[in-house]
Amino acid sequence: MYYNELETLPRDKLRELQDTQLRQIIGYVYERVPFYQEQFKKLGIQPGDIRSVEDLPGLPFTRKQDLKDHYPFGMLAVPREQTIRVHASSGTTGRATVVCYTRNDIDIFSEVMARSFIAAGARPGMLLHNAYGYGLFTGGLGTHYGAEKLGMTVVPVSGGMTQRQITLILDLKPEVICCTPSYAQTLGEEFKKMGITPQDLSLKYALLGAEPWTETIRANVDANLGVRSTNLYGLSEIIGPGVSQECIEGRAGSHIWEDHFYPEVVDANTGEPLPDGQEGVLIFTHLTREAMPLLRYWTGDITYLTHEPCACGRTHVRMGSIRGRADDMLIIRGANLYPTQIEEVLKSIPEVVPHYQVVVKREGTLDDVEVKVEVAEDVFREITQEAWSEDILEADHQMRNLRDSIQSEIKGIIGLNMKVTLMVPGTIPRSEGGKLRRVVDLRKL
Ligand code: ADP
Ligand code: ZN
């Protein structure tokens, strides 16, 4: 089932639509946004020179810094009075970025979110437990409007107050939940502690996003909440959640609603466009936005695109999961490292669970990475039992062995020496509702 027939438009027709929309939006921003007019003039190009999305690589990128330079309303293409809502990025990286929406933009936002819900398995009439934060962050209101548009019953819980969330889930019996993947883990663990099994829960589908996550986390959430979770991606500069959504049929990459947001993936260093399958920085060009259309916006998110046909029948291009932000990339003794690479290694080790933290320090001139990871509960119980009942040294020996084998596994796969610290189950910080920072970079303090 689809929300809009455009989701299955043959690709040649989709391209025609994109080209028409692009020509319109280029003329629109040229007339209305001084930033773009100056940029075009400096480059000596006329709006009419951009005929097709294939011409986009001829234009410069728009970066977060450009939005900051024009903070708060300098990038608007309409008078501020014609906008009906303001959101801001959660400010994960530095000062918040303010974005505005006209009524039509809010309709588009709701439309792409309604599509996303259907793709994730939700249907009109289902109950949605919405644990994305409400407020300046786009997550709560964006998903809320989309679900209402689809005809779902929305419970606007917002983030935090986990005990109340648990009660609401048990009492109201939602079929669908939206939140960050780390918060879904928190909820899942809480149910487990209470002895509530997935069979006792009404939940079927989870739309998880706003931060990077992996197949390990997916398996953990699916098992503890009894859902089939899918990836929901977005960023406030482009619209908020609903830029792309994984389909429940494929669960292998998220369909970008590219009749509204035209994607490219480019090399992080050279800015050159990359072919399908190659990882680089994700770029978006707005095709339909009114309040603050952006051309070639540099998201900083690292992923790849694929045009392979999908099991669900949608023709819209898919993006892989986000490996990380370009800003999240750690440079450790000259080598590039994404925290998700460490997670990949940890997932292959059954004695530990996907709760980890990466701490980076500088000792003298050397960068030091410490990986703190929780030991699986049953393994922990077994080893500590041994220590209490018989042989403390043997238990200690087993823990050291486990730690050493993780250390050499990381060294073998990533090629860097990292200190591994095994943590008692439940001691790594959990999400309390919002985005979880898994990297603590003490070098930046
Ligand atoms: P901030 O940049 O302050 O976090 P936003 O709330 O707009 O502000 O967050 C958007 C960013 O969140 C994206 O650029 C991306 O890095 C991250 N993000 C959003 N959805 C996902 C997802 N499904 N997977 C990985 N990262 C995501
Ligand atoms: Zn699909």
Choice from 64, 68, 92 to test ligand 1 binding pocket (greatest atom count within 8 A of CB)? 92
Residue 28 has pLDDT above 80, yes or no: yes
Mean pLDDT of all residues in 158-168:
96
What ligand is nearest to the CA atom of residue 234?
1
Which stretch of DSSP H or E encloses residue 234? strand 228-235
- Cβ–ligand 1 distance for 322 under 6 Å, the answer yes
The residue whose CA is least distant from atom 24 of ligand 1 is 212
Percent of the chain residues topping a pLDDT of 90:
81
Instruction: Choose the final residue of a domain: 327, 345, 367.
Output: 327
Amino acid identity at 104? N
Instruction: Give residue 323's pLDDT band: very low, low, confident or very high (50, 70, 90).
Output: confident
Distance (Å) from CA 245 to ligand 1 centroid: 13
pLDDT one-digit tens code per residue, 330-382: 888 777 888 888 988 998 899 999 899 999 888 777 788 999 999 999 999 98
Choice among 112-116, 202-206, 331-335 with the minimum mean pLDDT: 331-335
- If asked whether residues 195 and 247 sit together in one domain, one would say yes
CB 275, CB 57: distance < 8 Å:
no
> What φ, ψ does residue 53 adopt, rounded to 5°?
-60, -20
Q: Which atom of ligand 1 is nearest to the CA of 90?
A: 3
Percent of the chain residues topping a pLDDT of 70:
98
Mean pLDDT of all residues in 79-105:
88
Residue 94 has pLDDT above 70, yes or no: no
Higher pLDDT, 389 or 244: 244
Instruction: Choose the final residue of a domain: 301, 327, 353.
Output: 327
Q: E strands along 376-431, which residues?
A: 419-423
Residue 295 has pLDDT above 80, yes or no: yes
Mean pLDDT of all residues in 47-54:
97
Strands 335-337 and 330-332: antiparallel
Instruction: Choose the final residue of a domain: 327, 355, 370.
Output: 327
Distance (Å) from CA 64 to ligand 1 centroid: 13
Distance (Å) from CA 211 to ligand 1 centroid: 5
- Cβ–ligand 1 distance for 281 under 6 Å, the answer no
Q: Which atom of ligand 1 is nearest to the CA of 232?
A: 23
Instruction: Give residue 21's pLDDT band: very low, low, confident or very high (50, 70, 90).
Output: very high
- If asked whether residues 302 and 349 sit together in one domain, one would say no
Q: What pLDDT score was predicted for residue 129?
A: 98
Whichever domain contains 170, its CATH number is: 3.40.50.12780
Q: How far apart are CA 23 and CA 258, in angstroms?
A: 15
Distance (Å) from CA 371 to ligand 2 centroid: 35
Residue 65 has pLDDT above 70, yes or no: yes
- If asked whether residues 264 and 350 sit together in one domain, one would say no
Residue 444 has pLDDT above 70, yes or no: no
Distance (Å) from CA 114 to ligand 2 centroid: 15
Q: How far apart are CA 408 and CA 338, in angstroms?
A: 18
- If asked whether residues 307 and 397 sit together in one domain, one would say no
The pTM (predicted TM-score) of the whole model is 0.89
CA dihedral for 376, 381, 386, 388, sign (positive or negative): positive
The residue whose CA is least distant from atom 13 of ligand 1 is 235
Judged by DSSP in three states, 413 sits in helix
- If asked whether residues 323 and 341 sit together in one domain, one would say no
Instruction: Give residue 92's pLDDT band: very low, low, confident or very high (50, 70, 90).
Output: low
Distance (Å) from CA 234 to ligand 1 centroid: 6
Q: What pLDDT score was predicted for residue 91?
A: 63
- Cβ–ligand 1 distance for 137 under 6 Å, the answer yes
- Cβ–ligand 1 distance for 92 under 6 Å, the answer yes
Distance (Å) from CA 112 to ligand 2 centroid: 15
- If asked whether residues 20 and 57 sit together in one domain, one would say yes
Q: Which atom of ligand 1 is nearest to the CA of 89?
A: 8
- If asked whether residues 292 and 438 sit together in one domain, one would say no
- If asked whether residues 117 and 48 sit together in one domain, one would say yes
- In the block, tokens 């300046």 appear at 136
Q: What pLDDT score was predicted for residue 335?
A: 79
Q: Count up the domains in the chain and report the number.
A: 2
- If asked whether residues 416 and 433 sit together in one domain, one would say yes
Residue 445 has pLDDT above 90, yes or no: no
- Cβ–ligand 1 distance for 234 under 6 Å, the answer yes
> What φ, ψ does residue 286 adopt, rounded to 5°?
-70, 135
Domain housing 314:
1-327
Mean pLDDT of all residues in 319-339:
83
The alpha-helical segments, DSSP class H, found in 90-230 are: 103-119, 138-150, 162-172, 181-193, 215-225
Q: How far apart are CA 105 and CA 364, in angstroms?
A: 51
Mean pLDDT of all residues in 386-413:
89
Whichever domain contains 345, its CATH number is: 3.30.300.30
- Cβ–ligand 1 distance for 325 under 6 Å, the answer yes
Q: How far apart are CA 302 and CA 51, in angstroms?
A: 28
Q: What pLDDT score was predicted for residue 384?
A: 86
- If asked whether residues 348 and 292 sit together in one domain, one would say no
Q: Which of 246, 365, 381 is nearest to 303 (CA)?
A: 246
Q: Which of 84, 88, 112 is nearest to 99 (CA)?
A: 88
What ligand is nearest to the CA atom of residue 207?
1
DSSP-assigned states of every residue in 26-57: HHHHHHH-HHHHHHHHHHT--GGG--SGGGGG
- If asked whether residues 44 and 184 sit together in one domain, one would say yes
Distance (Å) from CA 146 to ligand 2 centroid: 19
Q: What pLDDT score was predicted for residue 93?
A: 59
- If asked whether residues 300 and 340 sit together in one domain, one would say no
Residue 390 has pLDDT above 80, yes or no: no
